[in-house]
Structure 1
Amino acid sequence: MGSLAALTLADARFPGGGHVHSGGLEEAVARGLVTGVGDLGSFLAGRLRTAGLVAAAFAAAAVESANGRGAPWPVLDAELDARTPAAAQRDASRAQGRAALRAARVAWPSPVLDALVAANPRPHHPLLVGAVVGIDGGSPAEAAQCAAYLAVSGPASAAVRLLGLDPFAVNAAVVALRPVLDAVVAEAAGPRPADRLPAPGAPVLDLMAQAHVRHHREQVRLFVS
């Protein structure tokens, strides 16, 4: 049986604050880079191979840390910071981690979460995901799959609101990502030292994240990121 924690965290009903983040999609829509389901599929695939891979790898590593076999939390936190060059992306990750932490502490109270918060009171979201899956007895692969799925499900949901797309077509676009998601999970779940975790760059996502912060101050936006 799979980890209930991984399923719960991936559920849109989990009160983790993910609904206020678009994963860069809002800025992409504003720039005319995503206009329909076809563009959305390409955007999601690119995000999955870059930011999604990083998140999945760190979620998998966090399971090992939660079980006392991986890198200390401050090391993982610093390594993920180093792989997230845009301040806006780091802030979004920590905001989601902090929001999810509140619900996680109620559902999975554990000294593991106390240790994670001791490293940083606003933990990165992938580390929170991996810690919770580890507490629940789940595997690194389950945590990686959860984090990878969240990297695309949030933007997909945002696309329905931003572009008025057919939710059935958007859901089909997410399902079509299965081969990419499986490859990302396979790459992310392999054990390795923290300094050898994947670090694919996504300069366009980074630049759009920074631009979104500026535009969010200047005009009303639906999403924080």
Structure 2
Amino acid sequence: MSRAALLVLADGRFPAGGHAHSGGAEEAVGAGRIRDAADLGAFCRGRLHTAGLVAAALAAAAADGTDPLALDEAADARTPSPALRTAARRLGRQLMRAAAHAAAYESVSGPATATVRLLSLDPFDATAVLARLAPELDQVAARAAEAARRCAAEGPDALPAASAPLLETGAEAHAARPVRLFAS
């Protein structure tokens, strides 16, 4: 399954998903430019190859370490509409909150998935563990988002520095093993 297909499944759960922003579709429907699925397909194809390309390139550049302020200026230069710039910033913040959730989830989903293979644990039991952690995942994501807000105002020292020494020493021992199924 492609990553894009997975995003289709996740879209309704993302704060920046389809329930939050029409991506211009509401206006296009109101103006009669989208009347049916064929019109929607043409609209989405055009948006994908224009606004989608720009957004994806900006995100990839951010992931590659390009200066965020330079990217912000580049995004503004490519988005003449003040309304679209405002919406894009709001959606970006919502997407980053979703990324905090995804990062917190990945910290536990990897071990849960690995134990299914390592222990022949029933996948439903592993999924149940994750489901029971859902409220705590939400709390951790909220704490992470708050730390990010403090970081923006106070600098990186405001970020949490919690440690798990057994994970650290275990990773070093695991990396030295000649045979293993997973990376540490």
TM-score (norm 2): 0.50
Greater length-normalized contact order (CA 8 Å, ≥ 6 residues apart): 1
What TM-score does the superposition give when structure 1 sets the normalisation length?
0.41
- Larger Rg belongs to: 2
